[in-house]
Amino acid sequence: MGVHDFSINPERENLQNTERPSETEVLEAVKTLLRWTGDNPDRDGLKDTPKRVLKAYSEWFGGYNEDPKLLLSKTFEEVQGYNDWVILDSIRVESYCEHHLAPIIGVAKVGYLPNGLVVGISKLVRVVNAYAKRLQIQERLTREIALAIQETLNPNAVAVAIKAEHHCMCTRGVNKPGTKMLTSSFIGEAEKNLEFRRSFLEME
Return d(Cα 199, Cα 151) in angstroms, integer: 24
Catalytic residue among 66, 151, 165, 168: 168
Higher model confidence: residue 123 or residue 2? 123
pLDDT over 80 (residue 204): no
Looking at 73-82, 110-119, 162-171, which range is the least confident one?
Answer: 73-82
Any idea which fold 17-60 has? GTP Cyclohydrolase I; Chain A, domain 1 (1.10.286)
97 labelled catalytic: yes
Candidates 13, 23, 28, 99; catalytic one: 99
By C-alpha distance, which of 84, 72, 178, 164 is closest to 125? 72
Mean pLDDT, rounded, for 53-79: 92
pTM of the model: 0.88
Sketch the domain layout of the chain as residue ranges.
17-60, 69-202
166 is catalytic: yes
| Tens digits of residue pLDDT in 47-63 | 999 999 999 999 999 99
Q: What is the mean pLDDT of residues 71-96?
A: 90
Concerning whether 4 is annotated as a catalytic residue, the answer is: no
| 98 is known as an active-site residue | yes
Cα dist from 44 to 9, 40, 53, 124, whole Å: 44, 9, 16, 43
CATH fold for the domain made of 69-202: GTP Cyclohydrolase I, domain 2 (3.30.1130)
Q: Is the pLDDT of residue 184 over 70?
A: yes
What number of residues does the chain have? Answer: 204
Q: Is 21 exposed, middle or buried (0-12, 13-18, 19+ CB in 10 A)?
A: exposed
Active-site choice (66, 94, 98, 151): 98
Mean pLDDT, the chain, whole residue set: 90
Give percent above pLDDT 90 in the chain. 78
Q: What whole-number distance in Å separates Cα of residue 124 and Cα of residue 71?
A: 8
Q: Which of 66, 94, 100, 165 is catalytic?
A: 100
pLDDT score of 9 more than 60: no
Torsion of CA 20, 23, 24, 29, to 10 degrees: 70
Catalytic residue among 136, 144, 150, 166: 166
138 counts as catalytic: yes
- Topology match between the domains 17-60 and 69-202: no
